[in-house]
Structure 1
Amino acid sequence: MIAHTGRAAHSHVALYAAFVNAVVIFFLSLYPFTGWSYSGRPLFEFLSYPLPYYTRFFDNAANVIIYIPYGFSLALLFMPRWLSTLLALAVCLLTSIAVEFLQEFLPMRVASNLDVLCNLIGGCLGAMLAVSPIFRRRWQHLMQWRRRYFVDGSAADYGLLLMGLWLLTQLNPAMPLFGVVAYPQGLPQPYVSPLDNPRLFLFLVEAGGAMANMLATCLFMTSWLKVRADRFRSILLLLLTVWLCKMLAAGVLLKPFALFQWINPHLITGLAAGFLLLWWVAGLSRILQTIVAILALLAAQFAATLWPLSEVQSDFLSLFRWPYGHLLNMSALLDFLSDLWPVAALACLLLSLWQQLKPAQTTQIH
């Protein structure tokens, strides 16, 4: 019975992971979702194009890589290995053909059977990795690690999945660390300040937003831990990891002069205050951590709505050294995931709060 329950939770997590991958694939393939028109050419004609019809190394490599986690998560949905592999390949193939079919109606996109082939190769690699004996052994060790350090319940499984998604959103080096706002490049923008001191208003919004965002993210992680002593180590590990992610992304994507463009005094002040508050709240009970994380998450989103300045996309993209088209897609995807994450995290925290209160309610009834 325990194995069946664990397998069911595992399948649910794999299903949500596959869904997230599918959203990412469709977003990257169809962005910016404008200019829809029908060229009049026969539908699905791209499937019969001679190979290679349209090829670029970066595009081909990206088409393979993006389908590896998709095929991996799909292959975890069923227990029999052959069924898992066939399901993953079939869904990856249908997804790829559907995406290429929709690209026929976008003048800025090129439907290609080579893309379908690369997608299928990526899905096959991911599925083979998921059903391989090496992964099965590693998965057992991972489940033991998960049971040792994290609480039981589906909310914790979804929380760990969302933490991985959050780390992905931090690969945008132009967005401040734990920040919810960004300064526009170029000329100053006029805005109406509710305070007599406009600079103080910007400071409070940016520093307060960074503090609330840091508090919400770290407590989102620590609220799943079993042992109180592990919370403080995990906070330091998370801060170090996200810092390294920011520096790596900045080094790879940004031009040299913009390497530390995302660091500013307002942000440092907010993070310092958030760290001190976090160190105190992390020692409280798990249910209090969950409640504070919910409030901090709402406060961070409120600070984002108060920010009066907006980015100038052309100036923003000029900080990067990637090709414009790929950069625009990547930036749009990370912005989309950054907007999606707070909603998913709030739902996950509310589920966790309900699961924590449910045993107490049951005890009172008995």
Structure 2
Amino acid sequence: MHKTTAWPLALAMICLIVYASLYPFAQWRDQNISPFRFLSAPLPQYWTGFDVAANLLGYAPLGFLLALSALRSRRVRWAVTAAVAVAAVLSLAMETLQSYLPSRIPSNLDLALNATGAWLGACFAWVLERAGVVDRWSRFRARWFTTEARGALVLLALWPVALLFPAAVPLGLGQVFERLEAALADALANTPFLEWMPVRDVELQPLVPIAEVVCVALGLLVPCLLAYCVVRTLPQRLAFALAIVLAGIGASALSAALSYGPDHAWAWLDLPVQVGLVLGALLALALLPLPRRGAAALALLALSIHLGLLNQAPADPYFAQTLRAWEQGRFIRFHGVVQWLGWLWPYAAMGYVFVRVSRAERPRGSEK
């Protein structure tokens, strides 16, 4: 039996919704009014099509994943109703908490749109189940993936989303050292512990072209190796690696289009990046026959090198300007959702492959 990936993806979606709904988590205050007052308030006089679409579509994936996880487990009789109820309670909790945030305005219209979006997503999952698509996916998954593929599939599903957060180096996820250093220095300011922090002799230096090539190549190779840990046959690995390459390029182009405009969607594709993409694809092709346990071990090594190189470089000025544009523009919630994925995805992948490598060998005749 395969464990469904819909449930952990639903949990991840809930975490992202909570973050996007309560961002920036600052200046909490009590207005001395009931936090549920917005429920009986008149409908908002000002709204935009973007707000309606964001609230409607933002909860549709959650409703879909909750209903799908219930349908796959066969434990919840009323899957659509249960999914909508959970999503509606979550939306009510978020709107209520927004009453204590000066930068957010709770709205009964948002609550209705969130619940409607969840209902649409849940109905879509129910239609797919009735049409037999869910069963066909189960058979497809049994042919393509090992029985313990859920963790890898969740990480691979989140990887293109993580790439939407602007990266200083294309496909370079997990560049957190400079931010952590600054945050720690701010937290320890005016305390004797500030002197305990190590002091660098020189400032972080930008990556030289060869280091950028290696970072891009490893950034593409890591998800391929992650897939090799759970995909069964050589032709299936080849097809999956091709899909990963296309998804990585497409997500990076979409990120650039959102950041700089559609005319600059391919501005990131300079010569070092092109060489890195080709090198990463060739390495993924050469490592197709690698055993699953070997793929996990090599992924752990690739992640260590990738993060080590990436975190020795600073964010360039253009990258900082990009972040300010996202943080000050209408992508504020979207930025808040994906920035944590961009920072944490490689560390979650490192934990996953570490567990696979350290797991005891299975008896002969079982899966590697």
Pair in the same fold by TM > 0.5: yes
Match of 2:47 in 1: 55
Matched, 1:35 2:35: no
Kindly provide the CA deviation profile for residues 216-236 of structure 1, in whole angstroms up to 9, marking residues without a partner as x.
121112221111232223222
Matched, 1:334 2:338: yes
Amino acid at match of 1:158: G
Output the CA distance in 2 between the equivalents of 1:355 and 1:361: 17
| Contact 2:165-2:338 at 8 Å conserved across structures | yes
Deviation (angstroms), 1:97: 1.0
> Any idea what SS the aligned residue of 2:79 has?
helix
Deviation (angstroms), 1:213: 1.7
Determine which of 151, 160, 167 is the counterpart of 2:160.
167
Deviation (angstroms), 1:85: 2.2
Amino acid at match of 1:335: Q
My pick for the range that moved more, 60-69 or 297-306, is: 297-306
**Distance verdict in 2 for CA 1:228–1:133, change over 3 Å:** closer
Deviation (angstroms), 1:23: 0.8
Deviation (angstroms), 1:58: 1.0
**Distance verdict in 2 for CA 1:359–1:311, change over 3 Å:** farther
Aligned 1:202-221 pairs, distance under 5 A:
202-221=208-227
| Contact 2:99-2:106 at 8 Å conserved across structures | yes
Match of 1:188 in 2: none
Deviation (angstroms), 1:57: 1.8
> Any idea what SS the aligned residue of 1:326 has?
coil
Match of 1:142 in 2: 137
Matched, 1:278 2:302: no
Deviation (angstroms), 1:24: 1.0
Unaligned stretches of 5+ in structure 1? 183-190
Aligned 1:1-366 pairs, distance under 5 A:
5-6=1-2, 9-10=3-4, 13-52=5-44, 54-75=46-67, 76-77=69-70, 79=74, 82-132=77-127, 134=129, 137-153=132-148, 156-172=149-165, 176-180=169-173, 192=202, 202-251=208-257, 254-255=260-261, 258-309=264-315, 315-317=321-323, 324-353=328-357, 357-359=361-363
Output the CA distance in 2 between the equivalents of 1:133 and 1:270: 39
Output the CA distance in 2 between the equivalents of 1:107 and 1:16: 32
| Contact 2:167-2:319 at 8 Å conserved across structures | no
- Aligned identity (percent) is 28
**Distance verdict in 2 for CA 1:16–1:237, change over 3 Å:** closer
**Distance verdict in 2 for CA 1:356–1:212, change over 3 Å:** farther
Output the CA distance in 2 between the equivalents of 1:213 and 1:170: 10
**Distance verdict in 2 for CA 1:101–1:329, change over 3 Å:** same
Output the CA distance in 2 between the equivalents of 1:299 and 1:282: 21
| Contact 1:173-1:254 at 8 Å conserved across structures | no
> Any idea what SS the aligned residue of 2:35 has?
coil
Amino acid at match of 2:350: L
**Distance verdict in 2 for CA 1:175–1:359, change over 3 Å:** farther
Output the CA distance in 1 between the equivalents of 2:44 and 2:234: 57
Kindly provide the CA deviation profile for residues 306-357 of structure 1, in whole angstroms up to 9, marking residues without a partner as x.
113455676215777xx94422332232221111212322233234445672
Deviation (angstroms), 1:143: 1.2
TM-score normalized with structure 2 length = 0.81
My pick for the range that moved more, 311-320 or 108-117, is: 311-320
Amino acid at match of 1:67: Y
| Contact 1:54-1:114 at 8 Å conserved across structures | no
**Distance verdict in 2 for CA 1:312–1:109, change over 3 Å:** farther
Amino acid at match of 1:258: H
Amino acid at match of 2:57: I
| Contact 2:56-2:117 at 8 Å conserved across structures | yes
Output the CA distance in 1 between the equivalents of 2:295 and 2:314: 31
> Any idea what SS the aligned residue of 2:295 has?
helix
My pick for the range that moved more, 208-217 or 247-256, is: 247-256
**Distance verdict in 2 for CA 1:66–1:74, change over 3 Å:** same
| Contact 2:166-2:319 at 8 Å conserved across structures | no
Output the CA distance in 2 between the equivalents of 1:192 and 1:360: 53
Output the CA distance in 2 between the equivalents of 1:152 and 1:84: 24
